[in-house]
Amino acid sequence: MTTEKPRVEILDPEGLKADPSLLTVVLYEEDHTIGNSLKHILCMMDDVEFAGYNVPHPLEDKILLRLQTKEGVAAAPIFLKAFDHLETLFADIRHKFEKAHSKASVMSNAIISLHVGQCGNQIGHTFWKTLVEEHGLNVDGTAKDENSHSIVDGKHVFFNQADDDHYVPRSILVDLEPRVINGILSSEYSRLFSKENVFLSETGGGAGNNWASGFMQGNEVFESIIDMVDREAELAPALDGFNFTHSVSGGTGSGLGSRLLEKLRDRYPKTIIQSYSVFSDQDAPDVVVQPYNSILTLQRLMECTNSVVVLDNTALNRVVADRLGLPQASFEHVNKLVARIMSATTATIRFPSALYTRLQHLVCMLVPFPPLRFIQTAFSPIADPKREFVSKTTVKDIMRTIMQPSSMMVSTRSSRSGLDKSCLLQAVAMLQGEFDDRDIPAAYEFIHERRLIKQPPWAMASPLHIHKAPLSPFIKPTYKVSGMLMANHTNVASLFADTLAKYEKFRSKRAFLDRFEREEGFSIDLMQEAADKTKDLLDLYKEINSEAFFGRV
């Protein structure tokens, strides 16, 4: 049996008792520069008469340190003070580096947002209201406080700074009918947006909730829209990616949105595209041909994006109504929740942070297998800002809530799609607020004790990553702690299985196909191609849940 060598050894402890001012220590460390650092720190201290170090042999992990203090001054406490000073020094260097790195990151990366169709523009409008508040801006893009320019935040990620110093969203507003965009441009935020980045169809007739109509009109108008995108990209110091908001169920957001995604991917093949895609209410759809529109859009999301944040209206309405104690959620409540999710997903990009400072970093973490790029989200706490009562929040409570399936913004029914073995592939929890960093390891322990995560059978490490995300310096948070979960979970496939089943039911009866057949240039074969792609996706979701995914049995 061998005795482990101590990392620190005091030579002649009896001599130290006789003369506390003389201390000789051996450090068993590979990095010999530690000795030199300690020597310099000790030599600058007032009560030190002599400090020196020696390395007996360059190939040995041994440093000999000798300290002589003034008469009547014990050497050991002085030695400990030197270590404290060394720790503080390195912590300060690390803090300054992180601040410089974060500042460089938020100042150089730009994200361009495209809002397409009625739903996409309504979400986008609420999102920009949120960003204006979080970056200390007035509704016209001017700074509320003239000293706010000195605060390190990433306004430049989502805003251009005009010659008169007001900030203009890096956004393109697109629709085939004018009502929603005209409403935005006549609101109190009318001076925020650039009129040059607004596209409205000259006919103003819309797409009639028909994917084929929106897609075919996209063939005629995409060049004008891509020109706007190119102009914004040229103004960006470094293009990090695109945010794309739309509905998959209507005509413009799905049809024209699909065409724009194709053209965007062709024009910017290596740039991250993250969409926030709204699926309409599965129980009471507001568009009769929703199954056709959704299946056709789903193929473009699979082929043209890097990440899709799935927003299911059924789940959004349920979660908001449950948390607020309402019989039914309003559009305003739902849009504010979606905007809050979008804001939280970009907090580490817009404010100083050590991790996830680019959209690419976040997407690479969440999407380890590119075909499976569909992300679910959860947020807590969800509360009405008009309520006077504010409940207590802790890291553990927030993590417990956002890890619950009922908190997800997607309605999943694993058993109905044969995905009863569904599992978590990757997830990032962004926690914001005032809490001790030690609460994060405690949260990991709590989650694993409660077995709140079901991993794939082939997984070797936990798929969950918890990060303390920065808060806006311009607004006072309502809650001490808030949290947002982004989860790549295989049970999202149940939503696609339901979409496919509804499509096949419609298609078998040829229900409403005439609406698509009369669109010039559109082929019904595109529908079956999209359905086949969806079947392939569902097969992959089932396969990744098995031990054989990497060839192991």
Q: How far apart are CA 296 and CA 262, in angstroms?
A: 13
CA 412 to chain centre: 21
pLDDT value at position 108? 60
Residue 467 has pLDDT above 80, yes or no: yes
- The CATH number assigned to the domain holding 63 equals 3.30.1360.10
Q: Are residues 88 and 113 in the same domain?
A: no
Q: What is the pLDDT of residue 460?
A: 84
Between 9-18, 202-211, 212-221, 315-324, the lowest mean confidence (pLDDT) is in 9-18
Q: Which residue range is the domain that position 51 belongs to?
A: 8-100
The helix (run of H) or strand (run of E) holding residue 231 is helix 211-235
Q: Confirm whether 321 is domain-assigned.
A: yes
Verify that 176 and 221 share a domain, yes or no: yes
- Please answer whether residues 433 and 479 qualify as being in contact, where contact means their C-beta atoms are separated by less than 8 angstroms: yes
Question: Cβ of 451: how many Cβ atoms within 10 Å?
Answer: 7
Please report the pLDDT score of residue 301 as a whole number. 99
Asked if 92 and 146 sit in the same domain, the reply is: no
Say what the pLDDT of residue 412 is: 85
> Which of these three, 466, 496, 526, is where a domain ends?
496
Block residue for tokens 């595209």: 273
User: Does any domain span residue 265?
Assistant: yes
For residue 515, tell me if it sits in a domain: no
pLDDT digits (tens, 9 = 90+) for 343-366: 999 999 999 888 999 999 999 999
Domain tally, the chain: 2
Q: Tell me, yes or no, whether 141 and 227 share the same domain.
A: yes
Q: CA nearest 276: which of 338, 218, 229, 198?
A: 338
Q: Looking at residue 231, what is its pLDDT?
A: 97
Q: Is 3 part of a structural domain of the chain?
A: no
pLDDT tens per residue across span 48-86: 999 998 888 777 888 888 999 999 999 999 999 988 888
Q: Are residues 421 and 463 in the same domain?
A: yes
Last residue of a domain, one of 44, 78, 100: 100
Is the model's pLDDT at 211 over the cut of 90? yes
Kindly state whether residues 433 and 319 are assigned to the same domain.
Answer: yes
Amino acid (one-letter) located at 237 = P
Residue % of the chain over a pLDDT of 90: 70
Give the H or E element holding residue 534: helix 525-544
Please indicate, yes or no, if residue 248 is contained in any of the structural domains: yes
Q: Does the pLDDT of residue 327 top 50, yes or no?
A: yes
230 with 185, same domain: the answer is: yes
How would you class 308 by CB atoms within 10 Å of its CB: exposed for 0-12, middle for 13-18, buried for 19 or more?
Answer: buried
Under the banding of pLDDT at 50, 70 and 90, the label for residue 185 is very high
Is the model's pLDDT at 292 over the cut of 60? yes
Tell me if 517 is assigned to some domain.
no
Residue 1 lies inside a defined structural domain of this protein: no
Considering the domain architecture, whether residues 87 and 195 belong to the same structural domain is answered as: no
Residue 534 domain flag: no
* Average pLDDT of the residues in 460-475: 93
State residue 496's pLDDT score.
96
CA distance 171 to 166: 15
pTM beyond 0.85: no
**Residue 269 and residue 406 in one domain:** yes
Tell me the HSE value of 187 on the side-chain side, using a 13 A CA sphere.
15
Which residue did the predictor score with more confidence, 521 or 29?
Answer: 521
Mean pLDDT over the full length of the chain: 90
29-38, 428-437, 444-453: least confidently modelled range: 29-38
Query: Are 158 and 131 contacting, i.e. CB atoms less than 8 angstroms apart?
Result: yes
Domain end residue (candidates: 33, 65, 100):
100
Report residue 35 as tokens: 């000795």
- Contact (Cβ atoms closer than 8 angstroms) between residue 248 and residue 298: yes
Task: State the average pLDDT over residues 496-509.
Answer: 95
Detail the DSSP E strand segments found in 118-238: 159-161, 167-169, 171-175, 198-200
How many other C-beta atoms are found inside a 10 Å radius of the C-beta of residue 508? 8
Average pLDDT over residues 510-530: 94
Please tell me the predicted confidence (pLDDT) of residue 348.
94
Q: Are residues 72 and 152 in the same domain?
A: no
Higher-confidence residue of 95 and 368: namely 368
Task: Tell me the two tokens of residue 456.
Answer: 């794939």
**Residue 178 structure tokens:** 């004018």
Residue range 402-445, pLDDT digits in tens: 999 999 999 887 534 444 578 999 999 999 999 999 999 999 99
Q: Residue 179 belongs to a domain with what CATH number? A: 3.40.50.1440
**Same structural domain, 461 and 485:** yes
Does residue 316 sit in the same domain as residue 428? yes
CA distances from 532 to 197, 212, 304, 316 (A): 36, 18, 17, 28
Choice among 29-33, 83-87, 152-156, 478-482 with the minimum mean pLDDT: 29-33
